[in-house]
Chains A and B, each alone.
Chain A
Amino acid sequence: MEQIGTKKKKKKMSRPVLYVILIIVAIIQIFPLVWLLDFSLASSSEMFTNGLLILPKKIQWGNYVKAFVDGNFLWYLKNSILINGLAVLLVIIVSIMSAFACRRMRWKLSTFVKTLLLMGLMIPIHATLLPNYKIYSQLGMTDTIWALLIPYVAFSLPQGLFLMTSFMESIPVELEEAAVMDGCGIYRILFQIITPMLKSSIATVAIMTFLNNWNEFMMASTYLSSDKWKTLPFSVLEFTGEYSSNYAVQFAVMALTAAPAVIVYILLNKHITKGVAMGAVKG
């Protein structure tokens, strides 16, 4: 960055320098993942090398077959999609309802309730692991889908509420007034008039909720005991046993576990970037 503006070429910062900076940072961020992919296609005996990357004698696709089958990949993926899908849906519905109640409806405690719900943003999730474990075991909820769904929705709700209220403020009240004139009830106003106008914020909330919960495993490993509802991170966490010394297969299972999120990110990268940016800046 130092050698930039000599007086003659003030405006043109030497682009090669800029690209060098970007490429170095990109290598630091991506090379570990390239290394992961590379080793996942080699055989374990080839790993003990001094080189940075291996050129496998034969590409070991078998590693991925083992990872896919013995890592329970499909089962965990199904659970992840189901639980995260439901969590996103619930966060959106509940946050729209709470936002409307606290922002538009007229009652004394509206600000208090909103502040209360937003407090959730400041509470560290991990401090609730111990007492929640107790509560869920008392209620017989451990190892059920509720043990994940409830905390996932509860901890994503404050952010959803925050985003929804700030977007809702930009919707003109006149619109609702007209609807009331036409004889609409509150629920119809909320779900048929307001909700469709919140499209972009719904996308933002969905993306943030997904990013928050997709990779979560601390609650899952505390509240769940069997494989029934365990999510994708567990194909890595529970994958040792017969492969504890077969590092190449372990690399394959890591790559496989990372794949869905990375692929979806690359496909939707513009929307996700926008969503995160909106969520983070507004939040």
Chain B
Amino acid sequence: MKKLYSNKWVILSLVLPGLFLFIFAILAPICLSVYYGFTNYSGMGSYQFIGWENYKNLFHDAAFGTSLRNSLLLALGFILIQHPLAIIVAAVLDKIGGKGEHFFRCVYFIPNVISVAVIAYLWKFIYNPDFGLLNNIIKAFGGKGDINWFSYDNAIWAVLIVLIWHGFGWGLLIYYTGIKNIDPVLYEAAAIDGATQVQTFLKITLPQMKPVIQVNVTMAVISALKQMETVYLLTNGGPGNSTQFAANYLYQQAFKAYKYGYGNAIGVVFIIICLLVTVILNKIFEDRDAKVKVKGVA
């Protein structure tokens, strides 16, 4: 048995495909990014090594600062708006049970299976000043309904609304699963003690959900950092750089502004930030519940 299970060739044949994919699709590109990050390569032709120049420039780059601020805003939007709503709705779903429970759970997740390509274009129409749904809703409630949703000041909120809306079902489903895993004995005990539903929710559901909340919060922060697709199609970072996000910015710099070297430098810093944030959040939460492992959402 032992001999069979430590046969080096067998082991190698089993891990090789996975290792190859990791090296070819993840590790090699990162090394290449580090390399190009030290150059002034435009994407074609020749280039020189310019040392830390790109990184120095990045430090003073207002657009990159805006990107990080926007990620922070999005993370706050997820944590302060999407998640509390998701927890409450999950608790309500659990309460009503039966067919309603399944029906609503299914309905809430539908936007999540639809491509960002469709979602972004759809919301462009929803925000349309001429026949858009949102302005028409405001009119229906007696407002003027002539808001330019993609103006310099409004655009970031328009983007946040779409992202919070689109990701709601995902957050909900995870909280819902967490609630389903709570031991029913706890609820029975609460009922015997005469607790009201709100008390039960605050004193039992929420504390029991702590590990799930921690995982969800970490995932929300990381997906806020990694945001690209929606913003790429909705505003492409504009107007100005008001809705810029790091991933979108590095893409623009490399392929639109022909600063491939600079784009890669942004990529390197971006990877480091993502790693650091994941590690820090894990450390913060680890102390309370050592069992919870957290991962990013690709």
Contact = CB atoms under 8 A, between A and B. Distances in A.
Interface-centre pick from A122, A156, A265 (highest chain B CB count, 10 A): A122
B21 A153 contact: yes
A171 to B, nearest CB: 14
Interface string B239-270: 00000000110110011000010011001101
A127 B270 contact: yes
Interface string A239-283: 000000001001100100110011011100110010011001101
Interface stretch (B57-65, B117-125, B150-158): B117-125
A215 B133 contact: no
A273 to B, nearest CB: 6
B136 A51 contact: yes
Interface residues of B, number: 106
Q: For the complex, would chain B's binding face be called helix, strand, loop or mixed by DSSP majority?
A: helix
A243 to B, nearest CB: 13
B88 A214 contact: no
Interface in B215-234: 215, 222, 225-226, 228-229, 232-233
Interface of B: 1-2, 4-8, 10-11, 14-15, 17-19, 21-22, 24-26, 28-30, 32-33, 36, 85, 88-89, 92-93, 95-96, 100, 102, 104-118, 121-123, 125-126, 130-131, 133, 136-137, 139-140, 165, 168-170, 173-174, 176-178, 181, 191, 194, 196-199, 212, 215, 222, 225-226, 228-229, 232-233, 247-248, 250-251, 254-255, 260, 263-264, 267-268, 270-271, 274-275, 278, 293, 295-296, 298
Given A128-B26, A131-B36, A247-B125, 17 more contacts: A2-B198, A15-B96, A18-B92, A18-B96, A25-B104, A29-B165, A33-B111, A123-B26, A125-B226, A127-B29, A130-B264, A134-B36, A135-B29, A151-B25, A155-B298, A254-B118, A277-B174
22 contacts: A26-B108, A52-B133, A52-B140, A105-B5, A106-B5, A106-B6, A107-B8, A117-B19, A117-B22, A128-B30, A130-B260, A131-B32, A134-B32, A157-B18, A214-B113, A215-B116, A247-B131, A261-B114, A265-B113, A280-B215, A281-B178, A283-B293
